Amino acid sequence: MLTVNIHEAKTQLSRLVDQAAKGEPFVIAKAGKPLVKVLPLSAPSDAQVRRLGFMAGQIAVPDDFDRMGASVIEKLFEGPA
């Protein structure tokens, strides 16, 4: 694996990042001591991407959905009798 000193990494960052993105990771060192490893990020697979509507046709909403619990809610707002 390629190891570059921090000064070289600063001057060649664009080229190094392009190489890392193509699958060639590298290490940045300071005074010969490795500090960080630069790796390409992996894009999420289709299975990992969340989609709107992924449960379409699997859930049924009752026709009276907007009125469900209306009597209980009315009693809460009426106050003590």
Give a yes or no: residue 65 inside a domain.
no
Look up residue 2 and give its two tokens.
């390629």
Position 43 in a domain: no
Residue 12: give its domain's CATH number: 3.40.1620.10
* The pLDDT of residue 47: 67
**Per-residue confidence (pLDDT) for residue 42, from 0 to 100:** 80
61-78 per-position pLDDT tens digit: 889 999 998 989 888 888
Domain count, the chain: 1
Rounded to 5°, angle at Cα 27 from 26 and 32: 140
Residue-number span of the structural domain to which 19 is assigned: 2-38
Is residue 50 in a domain?
no
Give tens-digit pLDDT for 2-50: 999 999 999 999 999 999 999 899 999 999 999 999 999 886 666 677 7
Q: Does any domain span residue 55?
A: no
Cα separation of 11 and 15, whole Å? Answer: 9
For residue 13, give Cα distances in angstroms to 3, 18, 41, 63, 71.
13, 8, 16, 60, 66
pTM over 0.95: no
- Within a domain: residue 6? yes
**Are 38 and 25 within 8 A, CB to CB?**
yes
